[in-house]
A and B are shown apart, each in its own frame.
Chain A
Amino acid sequence: MILKWQQKVAMKRNFLRQMFASCLMAVAVCGVSFAHADDETADGLIKRLSVDVLDTLKADKANLTGDVGKVVALVDTRIMPNVNFQRMTSSAVGPAWRQATPEQQKRLQEEFKILLVRTYAGALSQVSDQTISIKPMRASPEDKEVLVRTEVKGKGDPIQLEYRLEKTPGVGAGWKIYNLNVLGVWLVETYRSQFAQEVNAKGIDGLIASLSERNKTNGKKA
């Protein structure tokens, strides 16, 4: 029995540790949002961000550890401009999104954003000596939505980290991330069943309340 336990814990341990490490990398990769060329490819964008942010993080680590507020601000200003957060929230909420009033949609986005930003900020200070390699992309130039596959390499198993990006209409808007997966676990899908559960039980306002409650608890811990 203990043998099985040990083996099982090993599996779980690997899984969680990799998830954790990759969350860090995800943060790192989404990071910098300097002005970029209109014709930049999606994998080009991810690659540039990876390099920029990893370097920034490693250089700035001393300043950032121990100050959650600073890290939250960093994530907020650098990561969020590269993310289509409305799309991320609406697909996590699912069909109920369309029944929500504009005010409810706004609140959902706000609370979900606080939750994710804080989650990632908590992990940010832990980035160590990982590197990222971008896999060749299978997409044609006219695609409006693409999958960029990357791999995080450090000690042990390489960690799969992938992004779905969409081309934003309009000049200069560029590519925006609307979902990402760590080890094959998609962020949006992971929240979808939890959100559906809340909405079914307590309605949209119930979901907003739960998110806000979660954020308050997290805020106290910091």
Chain B
Amino acid sequence: MRSLTFSKALQRSALLVAVSLLQACATVSSPDRRDPLESMNRSIFTFNDTLDQVFMKPVATVYRDLTPSWMRAGVTNFFNNLEDVWSIVNNALQLRGKDTGDSIARVMVNSTVGLMGFVDVASDLNVERHTSNFGLTLGRWGMPAGPYLVLPLLGSSTFRDTAALSVVDWQGNPLNAVDDTATRYGLLATNVVNLRSTYLGAGAIVDGAALDKYSFIREAYLQRRRNQVFDGEPPEEEAPEP
């Protein structure tokens, strides 16, 4: 039954991609210099958004309604802890001493006292999280972000972040070390559904706040990444006021 619904969703999505790729030929009304591939990006964005609406969001909503919040928090903590491992490497590569130290302390504390990461003891001890990845490491050492890019399924990215993600970042995922295929994919599926459930509220806010969801998310993503590269203090690109 579930697989039937899923294949239906896939069919609908495939149709949508076809339609939106046709529309991609339409010209863009307000070109943005950071987004030369806007018409293609918009098509992929629409595909992602539709897939999310018909599949990911309903699944995540059911998951949220069926599980107790302490359990979801535990799952979130567990995967955050795995992510922190990769943050150690990248914070170190960026020569961010405190962030590296905090990340190491977090993984050590949470993996042991925090029962394999399910309890975020480190946050209770005020050891802050500093997530990082290889795209940010490249940015830190001066590589420009390049054009904005929307990836199928994955969403907002840039040329730099995509290169970092496909060549380096995904190999830094500790889940790769899980040998049993079924276990590995089970963990991945759990993570994705759990992650989606954590931003159901945020998604509703964006839906209500945006005039054009595509531009809204693009702007937020680009500003956010730039801010991360410059450690919270990016130089002004242009005057903030007209």
Is B13's beta carbon under 8 Å from chain A? Answer: no
Is A90's beta carbon under 8 Å from chain B? Answer: yes
Q: Provide the bound-state CA to CA distance between A196 and B83, in Å.
A: 38
In the complex, are the beta carbons of A16 and B202 less than 8 A apart?
yes
Known: A4-B170, A9-B195, A16-B202. A188 touches B240 (CB 8 A): yes
How does the 8 Å CB contact mask read for A1-19 relative to B, with 1 for contact and 0 for none? 1111111111111111101
Distance between A127 CB and nearest chain B CB, rounded to angstroms: 12
Distance between B61 CB and nearest chain A CB, rounded to angstroms: 15
How does the 8 Å CB contact mask read for B119-149 relative to A, with 1 for contact and 0 for none? 0100100101111010000000000000000
Is A115's beta carbon under 8 Å from chain B? Answer: yes
Distance between A173 CB and nearest chain B CB, rounded to angstroms: 19
Closest residue of chain A to B201, judged by CB?
A20
Q: Provide the bound-state CA to CA distance between A200 and B129, in Å.
A: 42
In the complex, are the beta carbons of B208 and A20 less than 8 A apart?
no
Interface residues of A in 139-154 (CB under 8 A from B): 153
Is A184's beta carbon under 8 Å from chain B? Answer: yes
Instruction: Out of A122, A153, A185, A188, name the residue touching B208 (CB < 8 Å).
Output: A122
Instruction: Out of B79, B165, B215, B223, name the residue touching A197 (CB < 8 Å).
Output: B215
In the complex, are the beta carbons of B32 and A7 less than 8 A apart?
no
In the complex, are the beta carbons of A119 and B185 less than 8 A apart?
no
Distance between B136 CB and nearest chain A CB, rounded to angstroms: 10
Q: Provide the bound-state CA to CA distance between A17 and B154, in Å.
A: 17
In the complex, are the beta carbons of A184 and B30 less than 8 A apart?
no
Known: A6-B191, A20-B202, A184-B228. A218 touches B154 (CB 8 A): no
Instruction: Out of B153, B196, B223, name the residue touching A185 (CB < 8 Å).
Output: B223
In the complex, are the beta carbons of B202 and A17 less than 8 A apart?
yes
Distance between A21 CB and nearest chain B CB, rounded to angstroms: 8
Known: A8-B154, A97-B242. A13 touches B195 (CB 8 A): yes
Of A47-55, A75-83, A156-164, the stretch lying at the interface with chain B is: A156-164
Known: A6-B188, A7-B169, A156-B123. A14 touches B131 (CB 8 A): yes
Is B6's beta carbon under 8 Å from chain A? Answer: no
Query: Which residues from A are CB-within-8-Å of B30?
Result: 193, 196-197, 200-201
Closest residue of chain A to B190, judged by CB?
A6
Q: Is the interface of A mostly helix, strand, loop or mixed?
A: helix
Interface residues of B in 186-211 (CB under 8 A from A): 188, 191-192, 195-196, 198-199, 201-206, 208-211
Q: Provide the bound-state CA to CA distance between A91 and B240, in Å.
A: 8
Query: Which residues from A are CB-within-8-Å of B209?
Result: 115-116, 119
Closest residue of chain B to A179, judged by CB?
B240
Query: Which residues from A are CB-within-8-Å of B188?
Result: 2-3, 6
Q: Provide the bound-state CA to CA distance between A17 and B241, in Å.
A: 28
Known: A123-B205, A155-B123. A184 touches B223 (CB 8 A): yes
In the complex, are the beta carbons of A7 and B223 less than 8 A apart?
no
Query: Which residues from B are CB-within-8-Å of A181?
Result: 223, 227
Instruction: Out of A97, A119, A189, name the residue touching B219 (CB < 8 Å).
Output: A189
Q: Provide the bound-state CA to CA distance between A184 and B227, in Å.
A: 5
In the complex, are the beta carbons of B153 and A157 less than 8 A apart?
no
Closest residue of chain A to B135, judged by CB?
A11
Query: Which residues from A are CB-within-8-Å of B215?
Result: 193-194, 197
How does the 8 Å CB contact mask read for B219-231 relative to A, with 1 for contact and 0 for none? 1110110111000
How does the 8 Å CB contact mask read for A69-111 relative to B, with 1 for contact and 0 for none? 0000000000000000000001100110100000000000000
Return the 7 tightest CB-CB contacts between A and B, nearest first.
A184-B227, A20-B202, A8-B154, A16-B202, A157-B129, A16-B199, A13-B195
Residues of chain A at the chain B interface (Cβ within 8 Å): 1-17, 19-20, 23, 90-91, 94-95, 97, 115-116, 118-119, 122-123, 126, 153, 155-158, 160, 164, 179, 181, 183-186, 188-198, 200-201, 210-211, 214, 218, 221
5 A-B contacts (beta carbon < 8 Å):
A12-B156, A94-B242, A157-B129, A183-B224, A190-B216
- List 19 additional contacts besides A15-B221, A193-B30, A194-B215; criterion CB under 8 Å: A3-B188, A6-B188, A6-B195, A15-B220, A17-B198, A17-B202, A19-B205, A97-B242, A119-B208, A181-B227, A183-B224, A186-B223, A189-B219, A190-B220, A194-B212, A195-B211, A200-B29, A201-B29, A211-B211
